[in-house]
Structure 1
Amino acid sequence: MFASGLKPTMDSFNTVLRFLTNQKTTIGYGVMAIATIGSERIFSLFSFQCPCNTQQNFAYGMTYLLGPALVLLTIGLFLSTSLWRLYTGCCLNPMKLCPRGNCIGCISILLRVLVGALVPPIMWLSVALLNGTFYECAVSGLEDKVIVDLFCKHRNNTCKEELAKVPCKTSNLPVAETTELLLMLKAQSQILGWVIIITSVLAGLIGTCYKNCRSQVSYLQLTFWKVYMQKEKDKFDSFAEDYATRLAERNMKSFFENQDPEAFPFPNHTAWEQISSVYTFSNSEQYYSTLQKYVEGPNRDYSSDKTPLQMEHSLE
């Protein structure tokens, strides 16, 4: 009776788990957005202190506005598996970037990597501009005549001299003018933020439409391809951990027992090179990854390396 009551609960749990797994990209972007908003608020409240002088406002404000965006872009590129699969070994063999002269495939992969890495910086810029704190500090320190005339039009010369102090509310201007200037700065910042958001959304929509329009496979097959690639990655990680553990145990046993190591099948260097290349789909080949192409290929080489890193040591 207990088991029969537990079954609906387990089914519900599996349904929720399956939903979360299928929506992990959306959930990831949601978590990223929440983290971005939280980080921006922390910077604004506890770290950012506008110097409120003409010499430092612009540099200080732009550093807080663009600095985190550059860091997020760098982290996004650093964490990109596709980038490292494409780039690893290119110093020794530059042809890896454009195998068989396929430079278009290389460029498309780099564009996908760049677009993916741009998501966090765009989120940061959008949130920071919508808040307006960094923009207010940066723009108020500009001495460009066009900028100064824009804010101090129909005002006395004191406005031009005190504009840099407006973000700190320490200027000698009347309270009403200070409030009005702050509202103008915040309005410009928020407009720029919405421009970035709208432009990014439209660019993403147009890019997705173009990509699907140019797709060589149907929507359902493309969905299957994405599912397969994720499953292959998960299985590869699992097999890699298992085989690495077994190889380590075999080497430890050989060392401590002072005896020859047991035979251990291991892919050779050429096999690793072939499955590590980035795969581009072709109608003439019914494969979904370089690993499947290698396994089903007629000219595959299953000879095992006696020392797995022999080739690597010879290159050093």
Structure 2
Amino acid sequence: MLPSALKPTMDSLDAVLRFFTNQKTKIGYGIMAIATIGGERIFSLLSFQCPCNVKQNMVYGLTYLLGPALVLFTVGLFLSTRLWRLYTGCCLNPRKLCPHRANCLSCATVLFNVAVGALVAPIMWLSIALLNGTFYECAVSGLEEKAIVDWFCKNRTSTCKDELAKVPCQTSNMSPSDTKELLLILHAQSQIIGWILIMSSALAALIGTCYKNCRSQVSYLQLTFWKVYKEKEKEKFEAYADEYATRLADRNLKSFFENKDVEAFPFPNHKAWEQISTIYTFKRGEQYYSTLQRYVENPNRDYTPEKMPLEMEHTLE
């Protein structure tokens, strides 16, 4: 039993832990933003060196601007549990993507939501990179489109068209004032595009959230409870999976090393795993919050245990 003097301290720690637990999504986005800013600064200061060549500026600048964004988008898809729940096994059974025609829209919605979620980090990268302006300046200065070059070099010396690509390195043969002015124009354009991207993303997020909540089939409090339940079910599933996997491994190793027949071990069958792995679609006539709850409350579910899970896995491969 804790001394009375320590109880206020423990209560305060519990309150802090609950706060961080409840705000972990926002904290995660904050950490992602800080990491993105740090990554952009590292690339700009240590790695990025604009070639200041009309043939290479565009490719080099766009590579640094769009390359990390594509990598972050790919990582976002890799880390999406919903994508893999929908995609796993669909090559062997394409109907898993859309088992019923009525569910095709739900599957498309899931894929859209996965893509939108994976776009958060790339948009952060692009916004920060454009606000900094280094990559954009290098890329745009290498454009060879006559109309764009004429616009930049309007009312300037004839050497401007040939020296525009050297502006980011400030090694052009133009006057220092013209070089500085062009550099400021490129920097301003980059920041304007960056702010447009930020404002467009924020507006799209607001409209999407409003539309999603407006179309919700449950009330706000029930939706809040649903989110909490899904998080708790995920945590408990991981804990149960770890416990049962440990027990199954212990049983198999004990049987192997002691050269004895294995003991009976309850294990869900393949059909059960398939059913709880599908993406859940809410229906007003059902008071379920996940595919797992719908499965366990189904009176006609199959209780037949999986006797040889490893052999089944080998057969599926």
TM-score normalised over the length of structure 2: 0.98
Corresponding position: 1:230 with 2:231: yes
Cα distance between partner residues in 2 of 1:219 and 1:63: 44
Deviations 1:210-262 (A, max 9, x none): 00000000000000000000000000000000000010011110000001011
State how 1:202-241 maps to structure 2 within 5 Å.
Answer: 202-241=203-242
Runs of 4+ in 1 over 6 A off after TM superposition: none
Q: Gaps (5+ residues) in structure 1?
A: none
Corresponding position: 1:278 with 2:279: yes
Aligned to 1:165: 166
CA contact (8 A) 2:167 2:183 kept: yes
Amino acid of the structure 1 residue aligned with 2:97: L
CA contact (8 A) 2:142 2:164 kept: yes
Cα distance between partner residues in 1 of 2:291 and 2:99: 13
Deviations 1:108-145 (A, max 9, x none): 10011001000000000000000000000000001101
CA contact (8 A) 2:157 2:174 kept: no
* Deviation of the 1:2 alpha carbon: 7.5
State how 1:101-112 maps to structure 2 within 5 Å.
Answer: 101=101, 102-112=103-113
Aligned to 1:201: 202
Matched residue count: 316
Cα distance between partner residues in 1 of 2:265 and 2:316: 23
Corresponding position: 1:26 with 2:26: yes
Cα distance between partner residues in 2 of 1:307 and 1:256: 19
Aligned to 1:14: 14
Corresponding position: 1:95 with 2:92: no
State how 1:35-46 maps to structure 2 within 5 Å.
Answer: 35-46=35-46
Indicate the SS of the match to 1:34: helix
Cα distance between partner residues in 1 of 2:199 and 2:8: 44
Aligned to 2:292: 291
Q: Gaps (5+ residues) in structure 2?
A: none
Say which is worse superposed, 305-314 or 132-141, in terms of deviation: 305-314
Say which is worse superposed, 151-160 or 218-227, in terms of deviation: 151-160
Amino acid of the structure 2 residue aligned with 1:231: K
Aligned to 2:150: 149
* Deviation of the 1:314 alpha carbon: 1.5
Corresponding position: 1:50 with 2:50: yes
State how 1:117-136 maps to structure 2 within 5 Å.
Answer: 117-136=118-137
CA contact (8 A) 2:106 2:281 kept: yes
Deviations 1:167-203 (A, max 9, x none): 0011111111111000000000000000100000000
* Deviation of the 1:146 alpha carbon: 1.8
Cα distance between partner residues in 1 of 2:134 and 2:316: 52
